[in-house]
Structure 1
Amino acid sequence: MTTEPTWVADTVWWRVYPLGACGVLPEPPSGPVGPDEHRLLRLIPWLDHVVALGATGIALGPIFASTSHGYDTTDHLRIDPRLGTEEDFDTLAAAVHARGLRLELDGVFNHVGRAHPLAQAALAAGPESDESSWLRRDGDPGGRRFVPFEGHDSLLTLNHDDPRVRSLVIDTMRHWLDRGADAWRLDAAYAVPTSFWADVLPEVRRTHPDLWCEAEVIHGDYAAFVTDSTADTVTQYELWKALWSSINDRNLFELAWTLTRHDSMLATFAPVTFVGNHDVTRIASRIEDPRHLPHAIVALATLGGTPEIYAGDEFGLRALKEERAGGDDAIRPELPADPSTMTGDDGVLQLHRRLLRLRRDRPWLHRATTEQVSLTNEVGTFRTAAGRDAITVVLNLSDAPAALTPTGPLLDADDATLARPHEVAPHGWAVLGA
């Protein structure tokens, strides 16, 4: 089992993509955003919303200098001028901590933007130069071509065998931890050798022992990645997919099967669980029957792991990710300066608040595992427990009521179920105590 900082046990992240939320991207009609607009400070009014929601931390998407979407970094030690200044970051970090929240940053350490000075120097000097050893070259004889990240010519992959890259990453992580960050998301961590992380992360923890690192990993053996890399956790894409597809297909056997894999991971680490992020279609658009959106939220709030709420999902925002240029824009919208003016579904917001309050009262859920009590395609009863602590969740996707057979106090349920004795309403759900 991995050793993670104790503060993570009751953590719920509110993840936001600042370049979108602060109105930098897509470029506003008025033209390019200037460096004197200090847009990063627009997030400060949202911090009280994060607290009221029941989250305990704010996880920022990329905020360092870049050319476009933030994942094409040009300077790891400078705040993107379109967002503001290093002093604006200090102000935001102080406001985050003043509310008792944690702060996570997004570290793009697999690749750099083509406009990064290191990339520009390598491109100018050529593949036989000392400058070129910062970047990975292809396997052709002589290795004369720098390797783009996943076919994106604007992103050039760093050479993680070069000790200078190791120093760059360590120095960057420490710099921003010293300025107020508590955690790092490691973007595209799956593309970096685990041996690199195993070398870098313990060295950073030597000076910052409370560091928590979330590695972006999409496919593969999650537990092995955590063990080999020494990251604290990975993004649980398997569970994300199973949640929405089992609900849409009314096939809770898929969810139950995935939970057996999820439980096996919890023996090693607590995965990051989510139903939405800045890279995927909004959960309110992904769930085909709107009556079943609450079921996904209930599952997220009650399963083992470290949950993340993607900014806007708590309002029931809808948007599709499209595989085209600008296809991420809809899922990364600008947020209003005043959270009280945010439009959306108040019922979804209140449901998030209720369920996150329930979770915060039960920090043992962080490492809890789940077993099937009863299961059909459309009705599932799941018991999630850690030692003597337990809750039972009933999900009903069917057109008929389902028996509420477990004993225990009814902690929360949909309105129709709350009005019924001993059964869960059609398309309803319930959470019971031990």
Structure 2
Amino acid sequence: MAQWTRHAVWWQVYPLGFVGAPAEGDPLSTVVEHRLRRIERWLDYAVELGASGLALGPVFASHTHGYDTVDHFRIDPRLGDDDDFDALVDAARRRGLRVLLDGVFNHVGRGFPAFAEVLAKGRAASTASWFHLSWGDGPEPDYATFEGHRGLVALNHDEPAVADHVAAVMAHWLDRGADGWRLDAAYAVPPRFWARVLPRVRSAHPDAYVVGEVIHGDYTAIVAESGMDSVTQYELWKAIWSSLNDVNLHELAWALERHNGFLDSFAPLTFVGNHDVTRLASRLHDVRHLPHALAVLMTVGGTPTVYAGDEQAFRGVKEDRVGGDDAVRPPFPDDPGGLAPHGWDTYRLHQRLIGLRRRHPWLHRARTAVLHLTNAHLAFEAAGEGRLVVALNLDDQPATLPVAGVTTLEAGAPEVGTADLRRGVHLPPHGWAVLS
């Protein structure tokens, strides 16, 4: 893994939603709307937040949400063109921000040229081997899809031409200034496919960061067999909000021990929100526990990601229906000046905790150890080249938690008592603290 990832904190943006692009478009359209440049107006905001990188959702030509790609080599005309992409990358570079792209290589849209040829020529199509097809009496074949969605045509990852295409796409945009790739639906792609593709990509781009979206499965084995740098840590994401909601910090303690095991092999991509899940502020039963979730995210090992809007305590519930992602992928104002005033306290909380993270880059591979644990109370240390202690209280009553070996309050509720830390840290009801 490239050394720069040790310092990475991503601010994740879903571009089509962020800039208010239409829900549907013509990926072949010659009419280009230059909406991508609106993101440039938010880069200073991301830097002031403390982010060191911009993680973009899909930006390539598609029919709808970006995950039905039609042309991997073209910026979606609803967003802009190559010049707009270059301008955004250049603007990010000038501010010291890395850029991560979202690669949808498990499946494509029905308009993807190789599949369009199948629909036009049938069995005679030269690209038929790119897909898992079953021919019957109808005008078009049956085909494998992504999770039953007929608009998402699954690729055949045993076909060499598919590997050639993906390697070419990844190299093209890295050549153009991107720093890495998020591999969408990586859990659905055989790891052996990435083991063939990634060495070709890294031969010219050895510092590229590659992280796979893996919701379930053997994280460690997938990383080892695929050659990816990392995968998404959904286990920890679930344990954070679930343990806070259930007032069962034993669940979080168990997940942290699992997380230690992953860190023996790789640094997971960590998060408490993204474009595919209900917003944290809506997920939590008690919004007073949002700082607890963020304190865990910013002190455990891994590469943290903040989903745009979470730093303002945006709300939004994901629903299982057509358009069910809209609430968690809303348009943003033209610039940060258009944000509502009530979210800035949460922004400043993020600044403090991301700043803490950036001051202690060793946290990237830190291991945790539980110091004190009940259903409603948890104290754990994060240790590596340094040491921090995190203390959480979910109770309606104040609590004093043992935190040996610390002298300084790094972050926490203003009522945290640190007069005599040898006796422990005194937390108010629903209080929290990070100490060193």
Q: Same fold (TM over 0.5)?
A: yes
TM-score, structure 2 normalization = 0.94
CA distance in 1, matches of 2:172, 2:74: 11
Identity %: 54
Partner of 1:118: 114
Counterpart of 1:202 in 2: which secondary structure?
helix
Counterpart of 2:12 in 1: which secondary structure?
strand
| Equivalent of residue 148 in structure 1, options 136, 145, 153 | 145
**Amino acid across the alignment from 2:349:** L
Partner of 2:159: 162
Equivalent positions of 1:7-156 (< 5 A) are 7-26=4-23, 35-127=31-123, 129-137=125-133, 145-156=142-153
Report how far residue 34 of structure 1 moved. 9.0
| Equivalent of residue 371 in structure 1, options 369, 374, 382 | 369
Report how far residue 127 of structure 1 moved. 4.0
Contact 1:16 1:59 in 2 (8 A): yes
CA distance in 2, matches of 1:405, 1:357: 25
Partner of 1:208: 205
Equivalent positions of 1:181-220 (< 5 A) are 181-220=178-217
Partner of 1:282: 279
**Amino acid across the alignment from 1:238:** E
Describe the shift of the 1:164–1:427 C-alpha distance in structure 2 as closer, same or farther (beyond 3 A): same
CA RMSD of aligned residues (A): 1.9
CA distance in 1, matches of 2:22, 2:353: 32
In the alignment, does 2:327 pair up with 1:330? yes
Contact 2:362 2:384 in 1 (8 A): yes
**Amino acid across the alignment from 1:394:** A
5+ residue gaps, structure 1, are none
Worse-superposed segment, 34-43 or 84-93: 34-43
5+ residue gaps, structure 2, are none
Counterpart of 1:242 in 2: which secondary structure?
helix
Counterpart of 2:330 in 1: which secondary structure?
coil
Report how far residue 93 of structure 1 moved. 0.5
CA distance in 2, matches of 1:16, 1:182: 16
**Amino acid across the alignment from 2:409:** L
Partner of 1:267: 264
Partner of 1:225: 222
Contact 1:34 1:82 in 2 (8 A): no
Counterpart of 2:142 in 1: which secondary structure?
coil
Worse-superposed segment, 36-45 or 349-358: 36-45
Report how far residue 26 of structure 1 moved. 4.1
Equivalent positions of 1:296-311 (< 5 A) are 296-311=293-308
CA distance in 1, matches of 2:54, 2:31: 23
Partner of 1:380: 378
TM-score, structure 1 normalization = 0.94
Partner of 2:435: 432
The size of the alignment, in residue pairs, is 424
Contact 2:379 2:402 in 1 (8 A): no
Partner of 1:423: 426
In the alignment, does 2:256 pair up with 1:253? no
| Equivalent of residue 236 in structure 2, options 234, 239, 248 | 239
Counterpart of 2:133 in 1: which secondary structure?
coil
CA distance in 2, matches of 1:250, 1:347: 25
**Amino acid across the alignment from 2:192:** S
Report how far residue 25 of structure 1 moved. 4.2
| Equivalent of residue 315 in structure 1, options 312, 317, 331 | 312
CA distance in 2, matches of 1:120, 1:26: 22
Report how far residue 129 of structure 1 moved. 3.9
Contact 1:13 1:307 in 2 (8 A): yes
CA distance in 1, matches of 2:135, 2:373: 51
**Amino acid across the alignment from 2:58:** P
**Amino acid across the alignment from 1:415:** P
CA distance in 1, matches of 2:170, 2:265: 25
